[in-house]
């Protein structure tokens, strides 16, 4: 039997593509292995969003190619954003690569496999208008109790620094029926937590139903038996409307957790980024969310060192963070990308300034996060158990509605007893640290 190994890089959206390709391979009787030594074919699903992601993708491809000597690998297939972005250039530059499968051609992964077996090199780039649906087999790689569900693909926002619209195509939503049907099947398999994702989750439905339909989708999803948490990730602020706030506030199954990437707070920089909201509009939205949804956790991300960002723009961003006290913040340094409007702007910021600003914001967020976590002491939360600390078998770790998978801290639960991953327990927070919390089982 033919054996394939898969490395999935980048975000959860890319992971869903990986899981669909794993389903296609399994349907074609290809065995999947975690051991690259044992694989006949190695597939790297790449990220090509910013410089650091491209570097990671290329070094992973080269590492996998070493298994042509160190293992029994007959060829390396590059899937995902990097291949879509650089196409023939990447195939020419990396002799180690046997096939490239673009973001619009994942459904042709078997053609790439056949090419490797035939000793050929192929470039498979389709139109970026494909999206999976509920009829496709998907082999989830996340823990059995949790899954990501991609409700839309592509993006039409055209932020000036971002290559996503180029490599993933225009925004296109799946149908409400398709998403419901997929989540019903996941629930039947024991999934309790659904993390809804897209490049811009809030715009869900605008292309297909002429108006945002995320609230409508959520109204249907909360009816699905077995699903305990529905979490919204990657929400663009513009279409975060009152209907959405209301349903998050009132539906117990929807996590009071909103991932709302804002990118900056200064109006000049927001305009140069081609973002659609002003600081005033963002502040109004944040106030509305916090008033309507007590206990809400807001995650956001900021880019520092965007071209033309002065000390005073940066200072304004810092003051905004101090005022807003976001529970979770991710900070990125601006990456100058070709084929983007921001990439050709003058006043690019030197790397050392970007790095200083990055460290300054991260240090600021550490203080805010620790303060907010201390405020959690004494509170009781439902914790989804994910595992145990091998050195302290009586201490389990997990997440509450306040922590998204993969990106947020953990809650360590003392006196856990014998709990299995996927079980939920009540736990009282006894100590808050910078990112993690310590709790006792109730
Ligand atoms: S919303 Fe902006 S940053 Fe996000 S994927 Fe779309 S274009 Fe890129």
**Fold classification of 146-373 (topology level):** pyruvate-formate lyase- activating enzyme (3.80.30)
Q: Is the CB of 199 under 6 A from ligand 1?
A: yes
Task: Please state which architecture CATH assigns to domain 380-441.
Answer: Beta Barrel (2.40)
Give residue-wise pLDDT tens across range 301-349: 999 999 999 999 999 999 999 999 999 999 999 999 999 999 999 999 9
Q: What is the pLDDT of residue 69?
A: 86
Q: What is the pLDDT of residue 320?
A: 98
Q: How far is CA 173 from CA 137, 152, 379, in A?
A: 19, 4, 38
Half-sphere exposure of 329 (CA within 13 A, CB side): 31
Span 153-162, average pLDDT: 96
Give the position, in ligand 1's atom list, of the atom nearest the Cα of 165: 7
Q: What is the pLDDT of residue 324?
A: 98
| Ligand 1 center from residue 234 Cα (angstroms) | 9
Span 129-138, average pLDDT: 89
Q: Is the CB of 164 under 6 A from ligand 1?
A: yes
Confidence of residue 182 (pLDDT cuts 50, 70, 90): very high
Which residues touch 140 (CB under 8 Å, ≥6 apart)?
Answer: 19, 147, 186, 191
Domain boundaries, the chain: 3-124, 146-373, 380-441
Neighbours of 137 (CB within 10 A): 13
Which residues touch 45 (CB under 8 Å, ≥6 apart)?
Answer: 6, 7, 8, 9, 10, 14, 17, 18, 21, 79, 80
Q: Tell me the sheet residues that pair with 197.
A: 150
Give residue-wise pLDDT tens across range 43-67: 999 998 898 999 999 999 999 999 9
- Residue 198 phi/psi, 5° resolution? -170, 175
Count helices and strands in the chain by DSSP H and E runs = 14, 19
Q: Is the CB of 157 under 6 A from ligand 1?
A: yes
What is the best residue among 11, 14, 159 to mutate for testing ligand 1's pocket, by most ligand atoms within 8 Å of CB?
Answer: 159
List strand residue ranges (DSSP E) for 176-246, in order: 193-197, 229-232
Q: What is the pLDDT of residue 396?
A: 96
pTM score of the predicted model = 0.95
| Ligand 1 center from residue 275 Cα (angstroms) | 9
For 3-124, CATH number out of 3.30.590.20, 1.10.3720.10, 3.40.50.12160, 3.50.50.60 equals 3.40.50.12160
Q: What is the pLDDT of residue 423?
A: 96
User: How many angstroms from the chain centroid is the CA of residue 284?
Assistant: 26
Judge if 3-124 and 380-441 fold alike in CATH terms: no
Asked whether the predicted pLDDT for residue 137 surpasses 90, the reply is: yes
Q: Is the CB of 305 under 6 A from ligand 1?
A: no
Give the position, in ligand 1's atom list, of the atom nearest the Cα of 155: 6
Identify which of 98, 164, 178 has the alpha carbon closest to the alpha carbon of residue 131. Answer: 178
Place of tokens 């995650």: 299
Q: What is the pLDDT of residue 418?
A: 85
Give the position, in ligand 1's atom list, of the atom nearest the Cα of 261: 4
Under DSSP, the state recorded for 348 is P
Identify which of 232, 223, 182 has the alpha carbon closest to the alpha carbon of residue 204. Answer: 232
CA-nearest residue, atom 5 of ligand 1: 199
Give the position, in ligand 1's atom list, of the atom nearest the Cα of 168: 5
Q: Is the CB of 19 under 6 A from ligand 1?
A: no
Confidence of residue 38 (pLDDT cuts 50, 70, 90): very high
Q: Is the CB of 159 under 6 A from ligand 1?
A: yes
Span 428-438, average pLDDT: 97
């Amino acid at each position: 039997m033919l054996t394939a190994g898969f490395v999935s890089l980048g975000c959860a959206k890319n992971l869903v593509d990986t899981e669909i390709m794993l389903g296609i391979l399994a349907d074609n009787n290809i065995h999947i292995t975690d051991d690259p030594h044992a694989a006949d074919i190695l597939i790297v699903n790449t990220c090509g969003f910013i410089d650091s992601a491209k570097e990671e993708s290329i070094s992973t491809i080269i590492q996998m190619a070493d298994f042509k000597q160190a293992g029994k690998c007959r060829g390396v297939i590059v899937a995902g954003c990097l291949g879509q972005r650089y196409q023939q250039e990447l195939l020419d530059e990396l002799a180690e690569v046997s096939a490239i499968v673009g973001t619009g051609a994942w459904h042709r992964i078997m053609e790439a496999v056949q090419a490797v077996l035939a000793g050929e090199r192929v470039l498979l780039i389709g139109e970026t208008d494909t999206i999976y649906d509920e009829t496709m087999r998907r082999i989830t790689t996340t823990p059995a109790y949790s899954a990501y569900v991609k409700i839309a693909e592509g993006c039409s926002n055209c932020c000036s620094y971002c290559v996503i619209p180029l490599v993933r195509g225009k925004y296109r939503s799946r149908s409400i029926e398709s998403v419901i049907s997929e989540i019903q099947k996941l629930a039947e398999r024991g999934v309790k937590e659904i993390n809804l994702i897209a490049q811009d989750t809030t715009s869900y439905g605008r292309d297909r139903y002429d108006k945002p339909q995320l609230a409508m989708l959520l109204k249907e999803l909360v009816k699905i038996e077995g699903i305990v948490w529905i979490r919204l990730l990657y929400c663009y602020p513009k279409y975060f409307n009152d209907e959405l706030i209301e349903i998050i506030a009132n539906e117990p199954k929807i996590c009071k957790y909103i991932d709302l990437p804002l990118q900056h707070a200064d109006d000049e920089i927001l305009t140069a980024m081609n973002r659609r909201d002003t600081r005033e509009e963002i502040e109004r939205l944040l106030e509305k969310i916090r008033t309507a949804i007590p206990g809400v956790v807001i995650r956001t991300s900021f880019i520092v060192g965007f071209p033309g960002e002065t000390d005073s723009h940066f200072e304004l961003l810092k003051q905004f963070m101090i005022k807003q006290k976001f529970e979770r913040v991710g900070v990125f340094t601006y990456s100058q990308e070709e084929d983007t409007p921001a990439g050709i702007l003058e006043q690019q910021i030197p790397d050392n300034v970007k790095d200083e600003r990055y460290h300054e914001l991260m240090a600021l967020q550490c203080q805010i996060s620790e303060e907010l976590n201390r405020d959690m002491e004494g509170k009781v939360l439902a914790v989804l158990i994910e595992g145990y600390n091998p050195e302290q078998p009586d201490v389990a770790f997990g997440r509450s509605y306040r922590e998204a998978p993969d990106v947020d801290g953990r809650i360590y639960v003392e006196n856990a007893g014998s709990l299995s991953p996927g079980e939920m327990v009540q736990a009282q927070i006894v100590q808050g640290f910078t990112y993690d919390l310590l709790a006792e089982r109730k």
